[in-house]
Amino acid sequence: MKRINVTQSSMPPLEEYVEEIRSLFESKWLTNMGEKHKKFEEKLKEYLQVSNVSLTVNGHMALENIIKALDLKGEIITTPFTFASTTHAIIRCGLKPVFCDINRKDYTIDVDKIEELITEDTCAILPVHVYGNVCNIEAIEEIANKYNLYVIYDAAHTFGEKYKGKSVAAYGDASVFSFHATKVFNTIEGGCIAFKDETMTTILKDIKNFGFSGPEIIRYVGGNAKMNEFQAAMGICNLRHIDCELKKRKNAYEKYREYLCDVKGLKIWEPQRDVEHNYAYMPVVFEDEFGKNRDYIAQILMENNIYARKYFYPITADFQCYNNKFSSCRLEVARDISKRVLTLPLYADIEPDDIERICSVILSTRQ
């Protein structure tokens, strides 16, 4: 029986990538902001419709770097319904995550609960665009302006998206993207920061290169977060094909919708109004009316060689490594959704027959 993974990396034609990296074999320049790095950075600015971009080795280091570049101290209000990286970055940078619950409609941070969490130690809000669902940007901006807080969006799920005709990357003080192999757009590994304040260009460049401002000048306590030339070359190639990839993903989503949209007790993801979506994920929530719980469905799918993902479970506030230090009992919605949601296989080249097979297995559990 054919194995169906939850995701599959998008890649350009081999010949195209080989041609793109040919000059690297001639120059022997493999890292340290070389020719491909610069070219990709400019292409990315154009595609994301932003003025400032800093490329990084991965999305996690992009998030750590912007927190350090802004010299944030104290508490950051964020969501626990996210990948581990979001919360880890806050803690690794010496700040305290203050968890805000999510809303049931799109699983993003509940903007009605943010203000009550603000204290004199709050320095920023770090919302997450979940499954490609865009946060309530207007409400977050209003709160941030009222309390003079930074806004950093974890935009790992929203590459290529627009909200009200404007690139998602252009909102907030900064938006952080992941270009991991499993994402809509990948550079094998990689990430970037899209940021508003042009004066941050130098510090972001320096801190990702050990803090070096010159051969003998180290102004910051930096690390090694540089994107190498082979990653950048993959980004250049994949960017040429991104629009086609997104169309394929949309077609896959529509196929799922044919089978699952009217199933009682099964809540499927629906595109938001005013958002040009990238169809990054296919989350489904199994409500009590469905008759079988999420864990049972996941097991049955696995027995049929179909690998879905409990994404996100557990919520980050409940991670064992935090030992309840940052947890809160006021996260009822996040905890409930985390126990019910399953992301089904979705990628550009998934076959319609595979989607039919996946849905047939799910629906057969109700009999």
Q: Where are the beta strands (DSSP E) in 134-237?
A: 150-154, 162-163, 166-167, 174-178, 191-195, 212-214, 217-218
Enumerate residues 6+ apart whose C-beta is below 8 A from 276. Answer: 161, 162, 163
Task: Tokens 């972001």: give the residue.
Answer: 204
Q: Decide if 147 contacts 75 (C-beta within 8 A).
A: no
Q: How much is the mean pLDDT over the chain?
A: 97
Q: Of 210, 239, 250, 202, which is closest to residue 69 (Cα–Cα)?
A: 202
Q: What is Dmax (Cα atoms) for the chain?
A: 71
What pLDDT sits at residue 326?
A: 87
The pTM of this model reads 0.97
pLDDT by residue (tens digit) across 169-194? 999 999 999 999 999 999 999 999 99
Structural domains in the chain plus CATH codes: 14-237 (3.40.640.10), 242-364 (3.90.1150.10)
Residue 215 confidence class, pLDDT cut points 50, 70, 90: confident
pLDDT by residue (tens digit) across 116-173? 999 999 999 999 999 999 999 999 999 999 999 999 999 999 999 999 999 999 999 9
Q: Where are the beta strands (DSSP E) in 57-115?
A: 75-78, 96-99
pLDDT by residue (tens digit) across 19-33? 999 999 999 999 999
